[in-house]
Structure 1
Amino acid sequence: MSTIIDQVKKKKLLTGQKLDFLEYLFQFGPCTTNELKKYVEENGIITDSIKLNQLDRHPSVLKGKGFIKVHSKRKCKVGTSNKRVDVLEVVSEIPEMNTLKLSGKSQKIFESSFNAALLAVEIYNKPRVTFRSESYISLMVNAWTKLFHSYYKLKKIDYFYPKRKDENFRRSWDLAKCIGQYRDLSPSIIANLELFIEYRNEVEHGLPDNKYLDLNLFGECQALLFNYETLVLKLYGEKHALNQSLAFSLQFSTMRNCNQEESNQKLLKAELEEVGGFLQKYRTKLTDDVFNSQEYSVKLIQIPKVSNNDRADVAMTFVKYDELSDEDKENYQHVYTLIKKQVEKVEVVNKGLYKPGKVLLEINERLSTPINQYDLQCLYLILKIKPKDEQRKLSPEKCNSKFCHYDSANDDYLYNENWVNFLEHIYMKQKIKKEDIRLARKGKKNEVLEKIRKIARNY
Structure 2
Amino acid sequence: MAPRPRWWHTLMESRRQACVAIDFYNRSGDKRSYLDFVVHMHLAWQNLLHADFSRRGVNFYYRDARGHYAKGKDGQRRSWELRHCLKEEFGDSDPVRANVEFFIGLRNKIEHRFEAALLVATAAHTHALVINFEAELAARFGQEHSLADELRFPVFVQSFTPAGMEEQRKLRRGITAAARTYITTFEGALDQSVRDDERFVYRIQLSPMKGSTSEADLAVTFVREEELSEEDLARIRGEAKTGTVVIAEKLRDVALKDEMLPAQAAQAIAAQLPFKFNQTHFTGMRKAHGVRPEIGEPPEKTDRRYCIYSAPHRHYLYTPAYIKRCVSELDTLIKFRSVFGKDPEPREDDTSTSGLS
Short-chain TM bin:
0.5 to 0.7
Q: Which amino acid aligns with 2:234?
A: Q
User: In the superposition, relative to structure 1, how do residues 219 and 149 fare at CA in structure 2: closer, same or farther (>3 Å)?
Assistant: same
1:185-264 equivalent positions in 2, closer than 5 A: 187-203=94-110, 209-257=114-162, 261-262=165-166, 264=168
Structure 1, unaligned runs of 5 or more: 1-101, 343-459
Partners of 1:277 and 1:341 lie apart in 2 by 22
Q: Compute the displacement of 1:191 (Å).
A: 1.0
Superposition pairs for residues 160-179 of structure 1, below 5 Å? 160-162=61-63, 163-164=69-70, 167=73, 168-179=75-86
Kept after mapping to 1: 8 A contact 2:24/2:37: yes
Q: CA deviation at 1:310?
A: 3.5
Which structure is higher in strand share? 1
Q: Tell me, what secondary structure is at the counterpart of 2:160?
A: coil
CA shift, 1:115, in A, is 0.7
Q: Distance in 1 between matches of 2:184 and 2:32?
A: 20
Aligned to 1:291: 195
Tell whether the 8 Å contact from 1:130 to 1:211 is kept in structure 2 after alignment. no
Per-residue CA deviation, residues 26-47 of structure 1 (Å, 9 max, x unaligned), is: xxxxxxxxxxxxxxxxxxxxxx
After alignment, is 330-339 or 159-168 more displaced? Answer: 159-168
- Is the Cα–Cα contact under 8 Å of residues 112 and 143 in structure 1 kept in the other structure? yes
Matched, 1:114 2:12: no
Q: 1:303 to 1:154 in 2, by over 3 A?
A: same
Map of 1:429 onto structure 2: none
The 1-side partners of 2:196 and 2:28 are apart by 28
SS in 2 for 1:210: helix
Q: How far does residue 215 in structure 1 lie from its aligned partner after superposition?
A: 1.5
Q: How does 1:152-163 map to 2 (within 5 A)?
A: 152-162=53-63, 163=69
- TM-score, normalised relative to structure 1: 0.46
Q: CA deviation at 1:262?
A: 4.7
Amino acid of the structure 2 residue aligned with 1:224: L
Q: Answer yes or no: is the 8 Å Cα contact 1:176–1:194 preserved in 2.
A: yes
SS at match of 2:129: helix
CA distance in 2, matches of 1:109, 1:194: 21
CA spacing shift, 1:150–1:185, aligned 2, 3 Å: farther
Q: Deviations over 1:150-208 (max 9, x none)?
A: 111112222112255884332111111011112469711111011011111334xx675
Letter in 1 for 2:128: A
Which position in structure 2 is the counterpart of 1:302? 206
Distance 2:205 2:70 in 1: 50
Displacement, 1:335? 3.0
- Give the structure 1 partner of residue 172 of structure 2: 268
AA in 1 matched with 2:182: F
Conserved 8 A contact 1:160-1:172: yes
Q: TM-score, normalised by structure 2?
A: 0.59
Q: Match for residue 304 of structure 2? A: none
CA–CA distance in 2 between the matches of 1:191 and 1:250?
29
Please report how far the alpha carbon of residue 117 of structure 1 lies from its aligned counterpart in structure 2 after TM superposition.
0.9
Residue 171 of structure 1 aligns with an amino acid whose one-letter code is R
Q: If you compute each CA radius of gyration, which structure gives the higher value, 1 or 2? A: 1
Aligned mates of 2:116, 2:223 — CA distance in 1: 28
Amino acid of the structure 2 residue aligned with 1:325: E
Cα distance, 1:237–1:266 mapped onto 2, change above 3 Å: closer
User: Cα–Cα, structure 1 residues 299 and 146, in superposed 2: closer, same or farther, change >3 Å?
Assistant: same
1:159/1:129 Cα in 2 relative to 1: closer, same or farther (>3 Å)? farther
Contact 1:272-1:278 within 8 A present in 2 as well: no
**Residues in 1 aligned to 2:168 and 2:71: alpha-carbon distance in whole angstroms:** 53
Change (3 A) 1:331 1:130: same
From 314, 319, 325, give the equivalent of 2:222: 319
Aligned equivalents of 2:150 and 2:72: distance in 1? 43
Moved more, 171-180 or 288-297: 288-297
- Give the drift of 1:339: 5.0
* Greater length-normalized contact order (CA 8 Å, ≥ 6 residues apart): 2
Task: Show the counterpart of 1:124.
Answer: 25
CA RMSD of aligned residues (A): 2.8
Gaps of 5+ in 2: 64-68, 244-357
Amino acid at match of 1:199: L
